[in-house]
């Protein structure tokens, strides 16, 4: 029987990457539907119900969420908590009502306890309070795992979740004040090079990286994450979350990331660090051992190449990019 796969958040960074992989693959036994907030407001139960009634999915990839970088989280913890709790409760309830066979929802490595041992793994999600900068987002995300377990215990449902590290790629949100670090820096570096201080030669310009540049992050290219998401939907049969991250050895500092962006843009000015801005969590090093055990041969795209592709996409799609 043909699977009907509904992807909530299908118009965002991760959703577009899944769509691109599916467009290349053209599976014959699956019909994929990608929806965004124009198709339904998932904070609203009736709107969510109408959408499930329209598509009658057999499978759901649930990506829709209020999403943002460190500074957006620090200023909006209540909204992150409430909106994401509403969206998640509605999507999981309707998945239950429509007898969806499998739901794969999305957590994040930034929801783990602030005080923890490293590397973090799937067993540690609920072990202590998250970092204070994003507690609203973190507790809402953690509740997905709790809700999945409760649906499984009460009804035997196969509602599971994946835990990606920081994601980047085409179709990201480049909006200042909202964006994560990679789209944020891409947008600001582009402005520095092409719009700000037009009277100055590029060699005399300075680009300010927020914070000390010392925090460590694992970054996954959206296309790699998309392939892994599709594999989880088709092949991973457990309610237990699974971390979808690059290896621990691929972790980089924010300063290293800035240098990779400087190379991709061929920026000839200077870098400086604005230490009046917050660093956020120092690190959240995650182990992908569970993933590696199940998919030992998966090849991640090289970081600098993925950064170059993302910068290229931003330059070519400057007018339509979210900024």
Task: Figure out which of the listed residues 9, 136, 215, 241 binds ligand GDP, where binding follows CB under 6 A.
Answer: 215
Stretch that binds ligand NAP, among 18-26, 57-65, 250-258, 292-300 (CB under 6 A): 57-65
Does residue 13 contact residue 171 with C-beta atoms inside 8 Å?
yes
137 has catalytic annotation: yes
With CB under 5 to 8 Å by kind, the binding choice for 58 among ligand GDP, ligand NAP, none is none
Least distance between ligand NAP and beta carbon 200 (Å): 33
Please report whether residue 70 would count as binding ligand GDP according to CB under 6 A.
yes
3-state secondary structure 10-48: CCCHHHHHHHHHHHHHCCCCEEEEEECCCCCCCCCHHHH
Q: Is 38 exposed, middle or buried (0-12, 13-18, 19+ CB in 10 A)?
A: exposed
DSSP H helices, the chain, are 13-25, 45-55, 70-75, 77-97, 135-155, 181-194, 222-235, 254-265, 289-294, 303-316
Please report whether residue 65 would count as binding ligand GDP according to CB under 6 A.
no
Least distance between ligand GDP and beta carbon 186 (Å): 9
d(CA 226, CA 293): 19
With vertex at residue 169, the alpha carbon angle to CA 297 and CA 303, rounded to the nearest 5 degrees, is: 50
Least distance between ligand NAP and beta carbon 123 (Å): 19
Please report whether residue 176 would count as binding ligand NAP according to CB under 6 A.
no
Nearer to ligand GDP, 89 or 172 (CB): 172
With CB under 5 to 8 Å by kind, the binding choice for 63 among ligand GDP, ligand NAP, none is ligand NAP
Q: Which residue lies nearest ligand NAP, judged by its C-beta?
A: 12
Least distance between ligand GDP and beta carbon 157 (Å): 30
Does residue 278 contact residue 214 with C-beta atoms inside 8 Å?
no
Please report whether residue 15 would count as binding ligand GDP according to CB under 6 A.
no
Number of residues near ligand GDP (by CB under 6 A): 22
Catalytic positions are 137
């Amino acid at each position: 029987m043909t699977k009907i796969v509904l992807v909530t958040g299908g118009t965002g960074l991760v959703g577009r990457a899944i769509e691109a992989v599916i467009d290349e693959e053209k599976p014959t036994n699956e019909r994929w539907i990608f929806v965004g907030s124009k198709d339904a407001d998932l904070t609203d139960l009736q709107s969510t119900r109408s959408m499930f009634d329209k598509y009658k999915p057999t499978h759901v990839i649930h990506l829709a969420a209020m999403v943002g970088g460190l500074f957006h989280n620090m200023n909006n913890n209540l909204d992150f908590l409430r909106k994401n709790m509403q969206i998640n409760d509605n999507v999981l309830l309707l998945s239950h009502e429509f007898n969806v066979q499998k739901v794969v929802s999305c957590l994040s490595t930034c929801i783990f306890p602030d005080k923890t041992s490293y590397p973090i793994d799937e067993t540690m999600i609920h072990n202590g309070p998250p970092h204070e900068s994003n507690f609203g987002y973190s507790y809402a995300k953690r509740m997905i795992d709790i809700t999945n377990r409760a649906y499984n215990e009460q009804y035997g449902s196969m509602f599971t979740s994946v835990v990606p590290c920081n994601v980047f790629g085409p179709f990201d949100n480049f909006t200042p004040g909202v964006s994560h670090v990679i789209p944020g820096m891409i947008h600001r570096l582009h402005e520095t090079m092409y719009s700000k201080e037009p009277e100055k030669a590029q060699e005399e310009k300075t680009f300010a990286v927020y914070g000390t540049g010392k925090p460590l992050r694992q970054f996954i290219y959206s296309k790699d994450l998309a392939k892994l998401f599709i594999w989880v939907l088709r092949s991973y049969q457990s309610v237990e979350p699974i971390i979808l991250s690059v290896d621990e050895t691929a972790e980089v500092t924010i300063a290293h990331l800035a240098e990779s962006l400087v190379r991709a843009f061929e920026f000839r000015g200077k870098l400086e660090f604005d230490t009046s801005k917050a660093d956020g969590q120092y690190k959240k090093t995650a182990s992908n051992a569970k993933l590696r055990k199940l998919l030992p041969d998966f090849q991640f795209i090289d970081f600098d190449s993925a950064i170059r592709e993302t910068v290229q996409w931003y330059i070519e799609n400057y007018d339509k990019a979210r900024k």
